[in-house]
């Protein structure tokens, strides 16, 4: 028994040495692009993977160096030749699965993505056939099924995994997200509550908040997000979700406190200042609202939402000329963009509608008409909305004469 243990230690040590050497030559290849370096990296990593075929880290590193050196086809051919002789060769299937997954994000055509998804899913199915306890394979297969819109199969894989490992956080997260996507929020809540009693984590509290939010139980969503923030106080994401929930509940003083904390945690995020401006505006503290919207504008000068709030705050302050200037400058900036995209069209429509309404409220009917006429040229939907505004404006003009 002792000799077997020593043999295992020796094998792990050799695998670790081969992995380190493979990693070293892979880094050298990134600098030099020399074939000699990549050949050594692949040789060492293949040795390491042979010694430790269950290592995700080694498999990922080997798949990555095949990808970086543009030898994916060689790797796939080599793995398939092994599987042709030995269909139950688990290391070859694991490597092939990782290679397919690694190439997914770089395929530009839909057909190539579909084929690669199918190949990757096939390998992970085979891996689970050969090793039903492979957690990583189950998680990947569920992800791939979801990408293929095969939600029932994904759910079955995840339920099987959680029957074996009920506290597996990644499995719980995937199944919860799947249930939320399917509108099964109550089941997601029940499952999360059971697991949180045994093994609470910030991520699971966050998911519980999402589930409660989906069924519009805002107080319980707030409580769950607060638990996540308290469990992981340095994570800005948890504080953001709590702050947004408090804002949705119109608990402005508490939301204000959270966003002030977020500014201290991340002074470069324009959204924090924008939400502070929104809260101060609701609390009728317009001077502080203006200060914060300008801080947001410094960090996101081309944001439509920032422009909207800046113009709205000036309007609330009784400064319509400033509001008109902000909107007119934004329109000019968008119109100077070289490419006319759907996003640009929608942005212009929002700006024209707000600007035209402001001209109307300040009795500048000629400018309002011109603005809405610009809006109707943008497209069918914008034409319909602009004509409705022009019809309203016609009534307003008649009433002033």
What pLDDT does residue 106 have?
A: 62
User: Mind giving me the DSSP string for 177-205?
Assistant: HHHHHTT-HHHHHHHHHHHHHHS--HHHH
What pLDDT does residue 2 have?
A: 46
Give me 388's structure tokens: 């409705």
Lowest average pLDDT, out of 51-55, 193-197, 237-241, 391-395, goes to 391-395
DSSP state of 233: T
Residue 379: which region, alpha, beta or left (left: phi > 0; alpha: psi -120 to 50)? left
pLDDT digits (tens, 9 = 90+) for 47-100: 887 888 777 788 777 777 777 777 778 778 877 887 888 899 888 888 888 888
The Cα–Cα gap between 331 and 121 comes to 48
Q: Which helix (H) or strand (E) holds 310?
A: helix 304-316
User: Mind giving me the DSSP string for 276-306?
Assistant: HHHHHHHTT-HHHHHHHHHHHHHH-TT-HHH
pLDDT higher than 70, residue 400: no
DSSP state of 359: H
Q: Looking at the whole model, is its pTM more than 0.85?
A: no
pLDDT higher than 80, residue 341: yes
* Cβ atoms of residues 358 and 323 within 8 Å: yes
What pLDDT does residue 30 have?
A: 80
Cβ burial, residue 72 (10 Å; 0-12/13-18/19+): middle
Greatest mean pLDDT among 204-213, 291-300, 387-396 lies in: 291-300
pLDDT digits (tens, 9 = 90+) for 36-50: 887 888 888 888 878
Give me 13's structure tokens: 């040590």
């Amino acid at each position: 028994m002792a000799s077997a243990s020593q043999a295992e230690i020796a094998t792990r040590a050799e695998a670790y040495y081969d992995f380190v050497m493979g990693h070293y030559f892979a880094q050298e290849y990134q600098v030099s692009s020399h074939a000699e370096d990549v050949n050594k990296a692949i040789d060492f990593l293949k040795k390491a993977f042979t010694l430790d075929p269950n290592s995700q880290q080694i498999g990922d590193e080997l798949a990555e160096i095949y990808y970086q050196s543009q030898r994916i086809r060689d790797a796939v051919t080599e793995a398939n030749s092994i599987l042709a002789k030995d269909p139950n060769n688990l290391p070859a299937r694991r490597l092939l699965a990782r290679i397919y997954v690694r190439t997914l994000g770089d395929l530009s055509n839909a057909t190539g993505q579909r084929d690669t998804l199918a190949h990757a899913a096939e390998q992970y199915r085979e891996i689970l056939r050969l090793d039903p306890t492979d957690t990583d394979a189950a998680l990947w297969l569920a992800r791939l099924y979801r990408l293929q819109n095969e939600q029932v199969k994904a759910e079955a894989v995840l339920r099987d995994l959680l029957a074996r490992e009920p506290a597996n956080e990644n499995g719980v997260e995937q199944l919860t997200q799947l249930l939320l996507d399917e509108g099964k929020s109550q089941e997601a809540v029940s499952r999360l509550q059971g697991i949180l009693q045994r093994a609470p984590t910030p991520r699971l509290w966050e998911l519980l908040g999402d589930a409660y939010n989906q069924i519009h139980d805002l107080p319980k969503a707030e409580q769950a997000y607060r638990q996540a923030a308290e469990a992981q106080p340095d994570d800005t994401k948890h504080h953001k979700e709590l702050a947004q929930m408090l804002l949705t509940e119109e608990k402005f003083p508490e939301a204000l406190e959270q966003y002030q904390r977020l500014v201290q945690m991340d002074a470069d995020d324009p959204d924090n200042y924008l939400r502070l401006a929104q809260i101060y505006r609701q609390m009728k503290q317009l001077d502080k609202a203006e200060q914060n919207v300008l801080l947001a504008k410094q960090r996101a000068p081309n944001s439509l939402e920032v422009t909207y709030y800046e113009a709205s705050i000036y309007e609330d302050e009784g400064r319509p000329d400033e509001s008109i200037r902000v909107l007119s400058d934004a329109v000019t900036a968008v119109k100077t963009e070289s490419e006319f995209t759907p996003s640009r069209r929608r942005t212009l429509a929002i700006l024209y509608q707000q600007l035209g309404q402001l001209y109307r409220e300040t009795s500048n009917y000629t400018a309002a008409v011109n603005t809405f006429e610009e809006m109707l040229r943008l497209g069918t939907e914008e034409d319909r909305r602009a004509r409705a505004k022009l019809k309203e404006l016609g009534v307003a003009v008649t009433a002033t004469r």
